[in-house]
Structure 1
Amino acid sequence: MEFDAVLLPGRRARLREAGHWRDLTINDALDACVRLAPDKTALTAVTAADGREQRYTYRELARQADRIAIGLYRLGVRRNDVVACQLPNVWQFTLTYLACARIGAVMNPLMHIFRERELRFMLSHAQAKVAIVPAVFRGFDHAAMLQALQPELPALEQVVVVGARQGEGAAANSFEALLSEPAWEDDPQAERILREFRPGPDDVTQLIYTSGTTGEPKGVMHSSNTLFANIMPYAERLRLGSDDVILMASPMAHQTGFMYGLMMPVILGASAVLQDTWEPSLAVSLIRRHGVTFTMASTPFLTDLTRAVEQGGTPVPTLRTFLCAGAPIPGPLVEQARKVLGSKIISAWGMTENGAVTLIDPDDDDVRAFTTDGKPLPGVELRIVDGEGREQPVGENGRLLVRGCSNFGGYLKRAHLNGTDADDWFDTGDLARRDEAGYIRISGRSKDVIIRGGENIPVFEVETLLYRHPAIAQVAVVAYPDARLGERACAVVVTKPGASLSFEEMAAFLKEQKVALQYVPEKLLVLDSLPATPSGKIQKFRLREMLEQAAAGSRAA
């Protein structure tokens, strides 16, 4: 595979000189862990269905990574070949990435929720040579799906199955038989292979598809330098180190889990605990049993964990920090979580293309967690501009541009969509405002703007007010088409358990808040849940599609 990571070369000299690119790879980090703490527990992977735990020390982790790397090599995987991995948070996921890094292969994490439509495009676009999938996960037969797709994917030479059932012809394709059980590291050529094909810090090491709040997935290319340039200052801001135990229940096929649940523990020489399926009561048990000090997840995870601790009466005193990103954190939740968990709640904002870009400081007042999305990490610059590219003053909304050391290498085969100018400013597609202290608040997507009869509706402000309504758990304000005004606003909400909400009650509440009448949404839609990406970002484009289809149906009738 040829990777057109055109955004990397021009930044190298400047970012190396500034100390942001340290020319390290995950191989360097793993080798250091083996040298300094070989018998320390590196990884504990927990299967929620039966509570089984698989543990690895750093010595065992490195040995198994070498073994699987040679196994992949024997399957024909070479430098720059893509290995797709559609696994939940299991030990095979972590080991597959470490093995890919040993021989210069590129890991392509795929969310377990993807089905034929998404996989057909992504595996073809990435020209994946090997795909690793679970036999069955959450009742769905992934192995059968991939094997049915394989004839349509000429580049896909091998499907490897985790948990393949013996006696049904599947064992020959199992992860165990092909990769993890034979002592491939004893191959006479193993030492040479493991030495000669290691990637450099500017080689593409990860290809990950955007989860899509605007609809079109794009293959984001990252190098070790771009990933390390984010993970290291992130850990420093949060004061994380080798003594920490990191729980990751967010999918490692998403950037949150991959960077901070898979890579960060190895970079820090810390310990990771993986949870394959989110169950709040199990998370409480794992935190208590393993002394977890840090986790990162979206707002619903924080809500669930807080409720589980409160209802179960089982405190989690070791959990020092819960970093929450992907959606705004309601103020009452921060207050409740602080009281119940005793943890510092950190708000943050980031993208697949950059990793975490902004986050609050652990010493900040709690109010910043629900009124801001943090301040930039070292090596990151921000600009907030109007439609003409002019800098916006403090407090004014505008398009958010980022110039950062962790900015991606570009979109695979779609360089025309890279959204990065000659001065390395990347257009995030988000709207934001900045306060006098340099903290930002994301106020929506640039495509979320609603223009009603020439009047811009302040979507974020209306949503913030609606979050204060006692009946509302989640809300998204989106546009729907109108023949006279062009667009009108609809509030799409999920109510709290046992609560109800009428349009009249919503409108009266907003009027009590002294909202201009033209800003009050003209329609209310109550749903059981809102469509969201794996990180918790609401997919407003799906809501718009729903409303557009409903409007078209009404016109047809």
Structure 2
Amino acid sequence: MHMDGFAARRDAMVKAGFWKNRTLLDDFDHRVKEQPGALAIVAHDVTQASQTRLTYGELDERVTRIAVNLAGLGVEVGDVVSYQLPNWWQFVALHLACLRIGAITNPIMPILRRRELEFMLNHARSKVVVTPQVFRDFDHGAMIAGMRDVLPHLAHALVIGGEGDAAFERLHDKPVDQTAATALFAARRPKPDDIIQVLYTSGTTGEPKGVMHTSNTQISNLGPYIERLHLSGQDIVFMASPLAHQTGFMYGLMMPIVLGCHVVLQDIWNRKVAADLFAAERPTFTMASTPFLADLTDEAEARPEAFRSLRVFLAAGAPIPRVLVRRATDHMGATIASGWGMTENGAVTVTKPEDPPEKAFETDGCPLPGMAVRVVDPADKPLAAGEEGRLQVKGCSNFVGYLKRPDLNAVDAEGWFDTGDLARIDAEGYVRITGRAKDIIIRGGENIPVVEIEGLVYKHPDINDVAIVAMPDDRLGERACAFVTTRPGTKVTLGDVTAFLSSQHITKNYLPERLEVLSELPRTASGKIQKFRLREMAKTMKPGE
């Protein structure tokens, strides 16, 4: 599964001290032994207005049972266990259980539907999938049940809140033989360079790509990140970003265990509930995309005392408007840091809490120790400070390849990974993302796979041509605007297009939120659509006008 040149990379990373040859189990075992009574998770269920609070000892007991019973279902070393779950305690427990038996975790965003799931579960050859029965009024259990005939590798579909053999609860409700469990876990303990996570990213090529990470690539990111933001075991992490995103996974699931602190999880974003949780649970750190910061700032204006505990808010995924940073700083009293990263490498650049304001407002930070960045021209020649070009990155937390797609790895012989982003790097080494070489829209921190959605819109019988571009949005950063031409004598509305896409099981967040019908799309002499001209048009628009 590893890409070429892995041995050389491994030697260099170990020698430089970035790969410490640890797995998350080393930290988890230590916590369970040293502080079994300490809080590990506070998971808040917004719909039920209920909470699950687990200590490290209680979490370990559930993890042990889930792991033993997953192995009992036939999950072997290297098998993929997929789960489409919100920020529930079961998400954390499942990853630790997979580590215990040498299985690979494949987290899937709860917003995804049949079309994406069919591709991912088949591509990863998932042996087990776990979903809620119902979440946010959608029946995940029924969706998977209706797909079994197109998922030949799937042996078990387990449902949280399900019944009988399909109930996930049977994995953690029945006690197991502790001695046998210990022997099983010892025999299956993963090595630091084993693949432990496959996380699909919305590609621009249409098909999602399965990003593969090891314990070394992920854990090597956490130490520098913790140091940069001055975090410690005294902190309390708040995580409302999805754990099925790398942000939530690395800094909401893994990092609290490494720090030896606890995490407060929120499963559905609701800013009033978040403010209540801040007031009650006193978290000190969170990381999320800019819309979360905007919402919490609005709450903090009305009740600043609720946010007194918050020390650092790391905003990533979209540039933070200066006026928002100022408002957030005034009303929350926290340090607002900014950062940039990808599924492929976790956080790469992060501002320092002690940086002057213009760095936090106008850059995406400088590289964490162990990571390097550069900007290159079309011939891959490094550019001088301040010049815009393609952003490349290399270092300890870069992934080890795309599952079954080595042709797409975009890593050169020296280990530089082409991010597909355009950027400038200033004289002090601070990066500013300026745009995207690849065609993608980031809506509220969620990548919209433009090429795939365009391909589906093309299928509409009355549409001749389509181009989807980003239109700026104050809250979500960007929304999707579809420019179309129609067949003679036909009329198409936004409602027609979204209904058509919904009938093809498309994720709601991917649907265009504005439709513009043009007589023709702007093109180059060679016939390519000039998306930059459409983006200029979209800049003045608002959804639903």
What is aligned with 1:527? 543
Corresponding position: 1:176 with 2:169:
yes
- Indicate how the Cα distance of structure 1 residues 36 and 522 shifts in structure 2: closer, same or farther if over 3 A, else same: closer
In structure 1, what residue type is equivalent to 2:69? G
Deviation, structure 1 residue 403: 1.0
Distance in 2 separating the partners of 1:72 and 1:296: 32
CA deviation string 1:274-331 (max 9, x = no partner): 1011111111111121110000100000001111121345431110011000011000
- The percent of aligned pairs where both chains have the same amino acid is 48
* In structure 2, C-alpha distance between the alignment counterparts of 1:427 and 1:227, rounded to whole Å: 19
> What residue is the counterpart of 1:260 in the other structure?
251
- The letter for the 2-side match of 1:171 is G
Change (3 A) 1:327 1:443: same
Correspondence for 1:237: 228
Residues 313/86 of structure 1: CA separation in 2 closer, same or farther (3 Å cut): same
The aligned runs of 1:471-490 (5 Å cut-off) are 474=477, 481-483=521-523, 487=530, 489-490=532-533
What residue in structure 1 maps to residue 90 of structure 2? 92
The offset of 1:216, in angstroms, is: 3.1
The size of the alignment, in residue pairs, is 475
1:409 aligns to 2:397 (yes or no): no
Shift of 1:215: 4.0
Matches within 5 A, 1:140-179: 140-164=138-162, 170-177=163-170, 179=171
The 3-state SS of whatever aligns with 2:307 is coil
| Equivalent residue number for residue 82 of structure 1 | 80
Whether the 8 Å contact between 1:395 and 1:434 is mirrored in structure 2 is: yes
Aligned residue runs from structure 1 range 25-424, under 5 A = 25-164=23-162, 170-177=163-170, 179-184=171-176, 186=177, 189-212=180-203, 215-312=206-303, 314-424=305-415
After superposition, the C-alpha distances for 1:395-432 in whole angstroms (9 at most, x for unaligned) are: 11001111110010100000010000111111111111
Partners of 1:111 and 1:253 within 8 A in 2: yes
Is the 1:5–1:221 contact (alpha carbons within 8 Å) kept by the matching residues of 2?
Answer: no
> For the Cα contact (< 8 Å) 1:358–1:376, is it kept in 2?
yes
Q: Which whole-Å CA distance do the structure 1 matches of 2:539 and 2:57 have between them?
A: 59
> Shift of the alpha carbon at 1:370?
2.0
Question: Is this contact kept in 1: 2:290–2:477, CA < 8 A?
Answer: no
State the alpha-carbon separation in 1 of the partners of residues 10 and 338 from structure 2. 30
The structural deviation recorded for 1:476 is: 7.5
Structure 1 pair 474–427 and aligned structure 2 pair: CA distance change class (3 A): closer
When residues 489 and 40 of structure 1 are mapped into structure 2, their CA distance, relative to the original with a 3 A threshold, is same
Q: CA deviation at 1:366?
A: 2.3
Q: Secondary structure at the match of 2:147?
A: helix
CA distance in 1, matches of 2:49, 2:439: 43
Look up the match of 1:554: none
The equivalent residue for 1:446 is: 437
Instruction: Tell me whether 106-115 or 212-221 shows the greater mean CA deviation.
Output: 212-221
> 327-336 or 53-62: which moved more?
53-62
My pick for the range that moved more, 59-68 or 11-20, is 59-68
Separation of aligned partners in 2, 1:523 and 1:47: 37
1:526 is paired with a residue whose SS is coil
CA 1:189–1:523 in structure 2 vs 1: closer, same or farther (change >3 Å)? closer
- Runs of 5+ consecutive residues of structure 1 not aligned to the other structure: 165-169, 450-465, 493-519, 530-557
Instruction: Give the SS at the match of 2:75.
Output: coil
Q: TM-score, length-normalised on structure 1?
A: 0.81
**How far apart, CA to CA, are the structure 2 residues paired with 1:488 and 1:149?**
37
Q: CA deviation at 1:373?
A: 0.3
Question: How far apart, CA to CA, are the structure 1 residues paired with 2:430 and 2:193?
Answer: 31
Report if aligned partners of 1:373, 1:442 keep a CA contact under 8 Å in 2. Answer: yes
Partner SS for 1:408:
coil
CA contact (8 A) 2:374 2:425 kept: no
What are structure 2's unaligned runs of at least 5 residues? 441-470, 484-520
Calculate the aligned-residue CA RMSD, in Å. Answer: 2.3
**Is contact 2:304-2:331 (8 Å) kept?**
no
SS across alignment from 1:288: helix
CA 1:236–1:71 in 2, change beyond 3 Å: closer, same or farther?
same
CA 1:67/1:5 → structure 2, altered by over 3 Å: closer, same or farther? farther
Q: Deviations over 1:242-287 (max 9, x none)?
A: 1110010000011010000001000110111110111111111111
- CA deviations 1:519-549 (Å, max 9, x no partner) are x6488443159xxxxxxxxxxxxxxxxxxxx
Change (3 A) 1:372 1:36: same
8 Å CA contact 1:479, 1:488 repeated in 2: no
Alignment deviations for residues 347-380 of structure 1 (CA, whole Å, 9 cap, x no partner): 0000000000001001012222220000000011
Note the 1:495-506 alignment, pairs <5 A: none
8 Å Cα contact 1:8/1:202 also seen in 2: no
Q: Distance in 2 between matches of 1:198 and 1:408?
A: 21
Supply the distance in 2 between the matched residues of 1:176 and 1:522 (Cα, whole angstroms). Answer: 48
Look up the match of 1:516. none
Deviation at residue 59 of structure 1 after TM alignment: 1.5
Deviation at 1:478, TM superposition (A): 9.1
Counterparts of 1:483 and 1:342 in 2: how far apart (Å)?
49
Match of 2:468 in 1: none
Deviation string, structure 1 residues 31-53 (Cα, Å, up to 9, x no partner): 11122222110111110112211
One-letter amino acid of the counterpart of residue 183, structure 1: P
In the superposition, relative to structure 1, how do residues 243 and 313 fare at CA in structure 2: closer, same or farther (>3 Å)?
Answer: closer
The one-letter code of the counterpart of 1:175 is F
Distance 1:182 1:123 in 2: 28
Paired residue type of 1:309: A
User: SS of the residue aligned with 2:364?
Assistant: coil
TM-score (norm 2): 0.83
Change (3 A) 1:474 1:237: closer
Shift of 1:194: 1.4
